[in-house]
Structure 1
């Protein structure tokens, strides 16, 4: 049987669905002669959603490169299908591919709100800002029906738990009735990722995410409601979208963003091959140059895992990008800090059956 060359699928980011680094077998797409549709293009890959039976929901980290110590991710996998997503390799722990599986086989944490409330009530809990969506987007398409992120926000509101949401979805504005009152008490902020202003490039890099204009409109709506917003020009890909850095920051500032940030493209583990495959399919004339520039900014490789450099890279290309970012933020006044939130108001509300306090 002949191996079939995989092609890009409409609405999907990854082209292949190779086995993860933990698997012994290699997946091969072949034509066995039993094609049911007469040799036409294969049917679209459907999204399936399964339950994630997590025992806890707060993830903690001590990385000096990350501005938060704890986070909640209502979902595993992400239907936005961003080809560069650094969370893709986490699907390997589930025995699934970081390729198409990551964006088509999703897991929901239906009891995330209940688990969060239980953990916030623990006597050992120390209030720190909580990131929602640090790994996968909390407002990906299935959130419209699942409403797990909203339930998590309701718990945070009830406990006065400060939160920062990270998203590239305009659906975040649905929850302004929760976020605006929290923001008035310095308990909430939002970071909106704008990778490119080019709608065609965005459609190919982030097939099921909101369009760039819609994300900028979300920044306007959040700002108008009093919610502090940062614009994330991330990831910056040398030779592909890095020339847009200033334009993205300017668009975010014009929409009302108070802060800005960027990250140099990260390609750990399986993402390296997935991204190169995407480049050669969608921008074949620039693929070699983009990969060469990434290596120049990553000490000769496609990724650096060391603290202090994994987010920004090294060498002249990385240094120039950093200098451009700092100058643009200074000029545009994008110096707001999205993690400057109020932790002193944290109070667990009375639980059913609790003894009333003595007066």
Structure 2
């Protein structure tokens, strides 16, 4: 299959069955032929925003190898369409597919700012870094319309509460005014995801994300404004972008990043078949080689749920990636330190105004 068989602007090319649902929805070939003859689309490729009403918004992260204690997600599903995204599996809990549904059916939590405020004002809450977002990108295109992330940042600022941000979208620069104020009290740290220096690779892996140059510029702008940045060089996919790790580390360091992190790709749950289908369409010449190399990193399978190993990988290929990372830290980040966030101010501001006594 050739690249032009891919749906433009989409990562996943199919909607695999939701493992939690009894019934299977599939589009038959005879129906597709009927639609072709009638000049109709078999299904809509447009984005659907669906409001949902959770009772809580801050999640305790139980996983020991994720690197955060608490997270919150203003949106579920993500228009960016990154083909490797581990968050795809979470869409099945909402009754949707981890494939194209994940990119087209975006669940919107409009009450997130109010729920956040209620959480961090609770008398028993002690300040800990809450990360926007541990699952889907809080600055995905939906944020332009709903501005939920910005409203949440206003809550963090009001109560002087530490916040972490993970994104690959330059839209974060819209909120520099709030971020500067948070940064002045050491209350914010930003993680910018940069997975390749090749636009061709980026467009295939992450079809609706900001360009690489925009992401590097975003790191520079945040750094100039006193906001510490960690570069997320993740995931490293052998045969696609793992060979770029050193150059990625150098580029992000040159633009001001104070540290970097990475993971070795794993394809759990429905992501295994979504990624396999995609790579055989997008990169047919190297699809099997890449899949075999991913398996080599995870004990012979693309699926890995072992704490301590699932994000690190094992075997020769994973060892080579880790060796490159160690060298990158020595060469480009030797004298750089990502600061710890400030947990001391929040208690004084918990009522919404600074205590006088």
2:315 & 2:88 partners in 1: Cα distance?
A: 27
Q: Give runs of aligned pairs for residues 256-271 of structure 1, distance below 5 A.
A: 256-271=256-271
Asked if the contact 2:150/2:175 (under 8 Å) is kept, the reply is yes
2:334 & 2:274 partners in 1: Cα distance?
A: 33
Cα–Cα, structure 1 residues 17 and 309, in superposed 2: closer, same or farther, change >3 Å? same
2:66 & 2:355 partners in 1: Cα distance?
A: 39
**Offset at 1:41?**
6.9
Q: Give runs of aligned pairs for residues 1-359 of structure 1, distance below 5 A.
A: 7-30=5-28, 31-32=30-31, 34-35=34-35, 38-39=38-39, 45-333=45-333, 336=336, 338=338, 340-347=340-347, 348-350=349-351
**Offset at 1:193?**
0.3
Aligned to 2:197, what secondary structure does the other structure show?
Answer: coil
**Offset at 1:296?**
0.8
Asked if the contact 1:259/1:334 (under 8 Å) is kept, the reply is no
Q: Structure 1, residues 69-90: CA drift from partner, whole Å, max 9, x if none?
A: 1011110000001010000011
**Offset at 1:358?**
8.6
1:66 & 1:338 partners in 2: Cα distance?
A: 17
The TM-score, its normalising length taken from structure 2, stands at: 0.93
**Offset at 1:162?**
0.6
Aligned to 1:106, what secondary structure does the other structure show?
Answer: strand
Cα–Cα, structure 1 residues 286 and 36, in superposed 2: closer, same or farther, change >3 Å? closer
Aligned to 1:50, what secondary structure does the other structure show?
Answer: strand
**Offset at 1:7?**
4.5
Moved more, 195-204 or 163-172: 195-204
Segments of 4+ moved more than 4 angstroms? 39-44, 334-339, 356-359
Cα–Cα, structure 1 residues 334 and 153, in superposed 2: closer, same or farther, change >3 Å? farther
Whose helix fraction is larger, Structure 1's or Structure 2's? Answer: 2
Asked if the contact 1:116/1:155 (under 8 Å) is kept, the reply is yes
Aligned to 1:234, what secondary structure does the other structure show?
Answer: coil
1:290 & 1:332 partners in 2: Cα distance?
A: 28
Aligned to 2:86, what secondary structure does the other structure show?
Answer: coil
**Offset at 1:200?**
1.3
Asked if the contact 1:80/1:209 (under 8 Å) is kept, the reply is yes
**Offset at 1:95?**
1.0
**Offset at 1:24?**
2.5
**Offset at 1:320?**
1.4
Moved more, 27-36 or 267-276: 27-36
Q: Structure 1, residues 212-256: CA drift from partner, whole Å, max 9, x if none?
A: 111001001101111001111111001111111111111101111
Aligned to 1:263, what secondary structure does the other structure show?
Answer: coil
**Offset at 1:115?**
0.4
1:44 & 1:25 partners in 2: Cα distance?
A: 21
Moved more, 176-185 or 80-89: 176-185
2:339 & 2:95 partners in 1: Cα distance?
A: 35
Aligned to 2:96, what secondary structure does the other structure show?
Answer: coil
Cα–Cα, structure 1 residues 92 and 261, in superposed 2: closer, same or farther, change >3 Å? same
> Which structure 2 segments of 5+ residues have no match?
none
The TM-score, its normalising length taken from structure 1, stands at: 0.93
